[in-house]
Chain A
């Protein structure tokens, strides 16, 4: 037996069962090694599934005995009888005490009443006794016997006759094998990500440990790899004996062995249910966990025949769905009818589903007991805000959806081990657990999805005040923490000095310090933080401002901003703030550092349990694999809230990360979500889609509150939000003759080029070019100088334009138009000349190595000074999960801290001081601005300030220049211009917004320095989340593809808090691409997204139709035939 102890198990771990940590680290090493093999596998499996399956089939054909042995195994299993006891399969009813009431530890106690050793075979009993003596000193009842499998063994050597006989014990040695394409790679092609390192299990004689055979894979299961993977992770131990063994074992003959499998306790605590995925046992990453779970499921499947449900119709019977549905059916009646309708109409498109889900959410009416208005709230709540408060408090105090045992049963199946121990197995993922699966303590929180402008922030603040952290937690903290927080540095430095002090007194002091640190740690564990708010950086300051406004001054309410360098890292100090605000970026970097260290200071936000967690603009986490999305999962909190105006943006998948964040059981489980919602919805079959839709709607119904500006009040029937009127006006601009000539020339040339692409069927190749051409045409509508801001690589466009202009001016008199064009051509020539000289002197094109575009918002890395677009390098840093990012060019290490902004060169190739002139559109805009600003100066009560949106920061430059010119010309400072675009730092941004929000009562021009009355904002940077209600005039200089982006921008001004009539002007050049963009907007008003939507190929034909429209080519007859060819 001694020899067996050392031989059995894997080569790496001498004792198969080490402590948890040791086990994990050895497993990790193993899997690191396996990665090299895994990657090529997944490479190969793409698009080659069929091929490798064939290959696999062919390889199997070489082993003729495989199938017949499989059959024999079946027969033998009857003969052996009790060795393969069937555990209580299919016992779905919780007949024993309810899972909730049973003490969790009972399964582990030595007095476990259910263990029934006597019914096991003597051989198994003997093994059990030995194993328990070895691993638990005989005091625990672990490991436990799981069951036996009969496995064919192929001999790899010839033994003496009678060397091994039936019943003889065999020694199993597990070793990883290189999978170099000779193995059965295609076997698990469907689960590509589960392909792992493969293992061989060698069968050796008990006497000499000499290898004489190997376990063969079973038809349904690669048993050697399964055993190997689980045993290496120290989750199981396998013992074997020969069962049906010929007297003389010869090379290549096959005999049968019985493999008895014993489970370590860690197998059941592995990825225990109810725990958040982030709290998995140390040392396993998600991939390994996934793989091991897969093998556990496979193993149980072959042991009991009841692993995971593979058939979609049997798992999670339709009961759950109908059961969940019943809870909503009443209010959702209208909704589900409209699902059917929207699915039946032929025009149904998947993106409509999003609209439908949102619409269904609006139909839900709130019925929660009224909550008194918190006295500390400085502002008054509107009726609909009050009802949101009622709803939120109700969700926190008495969660409406408590998981019942019914729900548990839907996802977990109760089973019994051969010795009678009860365990639970997840129906989909196959995880096993001894603990009765606690499907999370019900979701306390939800999704507040009111449309933007309705005051989600106020609603959240009122919630903080209405349901604060219990006072006893607060006071206990004050009393106890005072001791530690006053001199935190002393405690830590002293414990550092511990080693140096060798005098007795020093030793005592060190011991005291250590004890203090210990106490402190337990205090951190026991205390509870206030409310943690996570929001995008751009609205950090807005949160502070709103908290200032809405919380009464006399409230004992301290807000801490956990951002940048002045953040507080001591958890005990953090716990004393009522509100801590942080950004997603900061949270993510903190999360990253928690992966590396255990010290409470480094863990910062993660060291504490929070009272309430609020994610603002929660759609930020909509990519479930992004760092942010995973970082929020590991925060511990009593209540969880997600605030977003757009819970679903493009598709249903967007909501999953929110459900996962809220821990909505069982739907936060990715496999369940995929099976019941994502996949049916992608299937494209109306019935399945309908089921998925109504299921999702029923999941969301209790969780999500959504009102829009159009929502009517339940009692009065009036719209819940009475905003002042909004007048939208399209200002048509006619180009001057010269501009028209230039525009037409460029436009016609572009159109001709487009037609060539079309004729050659090469639109897909030249999409970027097409969109660039479109951009030039659109810029021409704004101002001819804009196209001179184009990057160096597009110089040919400028050359083209210059040629046009020369041609246009040749042989003409010197009328105004010609002069204009000549001047422009001259400027162009000059700039081209300059550009060429720059280029030839440095011979470098400033292209970003990541996106291959000319660099936009350039940043450099500190260590190597390589330059990239800001977005590109940030994407790279965010996508790097191991914190070992390298410079893409030179592979020097880099991090967020190394990203430095670089000074920006003037974007124009002409000297704005000398060469500046007004375009027709700009002239018109300036006129209107003069009027609007004068109106504001006269009567700031009825007229607000002005906001100008353009999508080109270059255009904003030109507008700024034009307004300065006006000031200069009229010798008075009418325009005080502020600027808001993506290049501003957080503090500059805050300053600009504050200045703009300040309404200076003084109208006298002399004292008016620093009062801003015009804000120039880029559509992208100024469009999201801001509050610009100081303005009442909005000027949209150019149209954007997606009307929703424009609406977002307008809603910055036309939102709650607006008291004046809002005047919106959209400037459109008549008879131009802009006019056709308006048509496109009206036609679609949906997902044109940005020029190249991320959705790739999905609707190329509709995109082609759009392009045809924009180039005003015949879209009627041509679309059909051409789109097919595309």
Chain B
């Protein structure tokens, strides 16, 4: 059973290599087929535009029955991403479904970068600012992008 499902990981890896998503690059770790280094381009029209964000993505043993774990390695100023890079995203938690894939997860993260959700914050400070003064918040995010995500 597990063999048959771990085949899925190979399959996804293969597809990501053959048919890459624009703005997302995924490389599998040399020694661990469940560990991926991800590079995300900051989405256009967001304060992160022009930035290159590194993430790590790990597929737990129960994958796809359990959600992958993703974490930003590049510092980012975002209400749903905390200082350790952890991402607050429903499909990575209780809304996970085995029909989702690495590809969809990364796309969702990209979408989250475009549209932060300060109501469900992980970084309270950023979320407050986002709610109070969105222009200022975006400015900081842009600064951080320039500083850390180049």
Contact = CB atoms under 8 A, between A and B. Distances in A.
Contacts of B86: 40-41, 43-44, 181
A998 interface: no
B77 to A, nearest CB: 13
B6 A769 contact: no
B17 interface: yes
Contacts of B56: 47
A767 interface: yes
B82 A764 contact: no
Contact of A853 (B7, B28, B83, B100): B7
Q: Is the interface of A mostly helix, strand, loop or mixed?
A: loop
Given A851-B5, A875-B1, A39 B97 contact: no
Nearest to B125: A180
B90 to A, nearest CB: 11
Interface in B103-120: none
Interface in B1-48: 1-8, 10-14, 17, 28, 31-35
A889 B11 contact: no
Contacts of B98: 849-850, 872, 876, 888
Q: Which of B6, B17, B84 has the most CB of A within 10 A?
A: B84
B69 A871 contact: no
Contacts of B4: 851, 871
Contacts of B123: 180-181
Nearest to B83: A181
Given A47-B58, A849-B99, A889-B97, A1092 B10 contact: yes
A407 interface: no
B124 interface: yes
B14 A766 contact: yes
Interface in A960-1001: none
Contact of A40 (B8, B34, B35, B82): B82
Interface in A1079-1100: 1089-1094, 1096-1097
A44 B2 CA distance: 25
B138 interface: no
A227 to B, nearest CB: 25
B84 A46 contact: no
A182 B82 CA distance: 10
B124 A178 contact: yes
B11 A852 contact: yes
A1093 B66 CA distance: 20
Contacts of B87: 40
B84 A47 contact: no
B141 interface: no
Interface in B41-73: 56, 58, 62, 64-66, 69-71
A1032 to B, nearest CB: 33
Contacts of A52: 84
Contacts of A178: 124
A185 interface: yes
Interface in A864-911: 871-872, 875-876, 879, 886, 888-889, 891
Contacts of B82: 40, 180-181
Nearest to A45: B84
A62 interface: no
A875 B84 CA distance: 33
Interface string A157-196: 0000000000000000000001011100100000000000
Interface residues of A, number: 45
Contacts of B32: 1097
A482 to B, nearest CB: 46
Nearest to A880: B65
Contacts of A1094: 2-3, 6
A852 B10 CA distance: 11
A768 interface: yes
B124 A40 contact: no
Contacts of B137: none
Contacts of B28: 764-765
Contacts of B149: none
Contacts of A14: none
Contacts of A853: 7-8, 11
B76 interface: no
A47 B35 contact: yes
A1112 interface: no
Contacts of B17: 765
Interface in A12-36: 36
A942 to B, nearest CB: 42
B97 A888 contact: yes
Contacts of A36: 93
Interface in A202-222: none
A493 interface: no
A65 interface: no
A871 B1 CA distance: 8
Q: Which of B4, B35, B69 has the most CB of A within 10 A?
A: B4
B33 A764 contact: yes
Contacts of A767: 10
A889 B14 CA distance: 23
A320 to B, nearest CB: 32
Contacts of A82: none
8 contacts: A43-B86, A46-B69, A180-B124, A764-B28, A851-B7, A853-B11, A875-B5, A1092-B3
Interface of B: 1-8, 10-14, 17, 28, 31-35, 56, 58, 62, 64-66, 69-71, 82-88, 92-93, 95, 97-101, 122-124
Interface of A: 36, 39-44, 46-48, 52, 55, 178, 180-182, 185, 764-769, 849-853, 871-872, 875-876, 879, 886, 888-889, 891, 1089-1094, 1096-1097
Given A768-B11, A850-B99, 13 more contacts: A40-B82, A44-B71, A47-B35, A180-B124, A765-B14, A851-B4, A851-B7, A853-B7, A871-B4, A876-B98, A879-B66, A1097-B32, A1097-B33
The 4 A-B residue pairs whose C-beta atoms are closest, nearest first, are: A888-B99, A849-B99, A40-B86, A181-B83
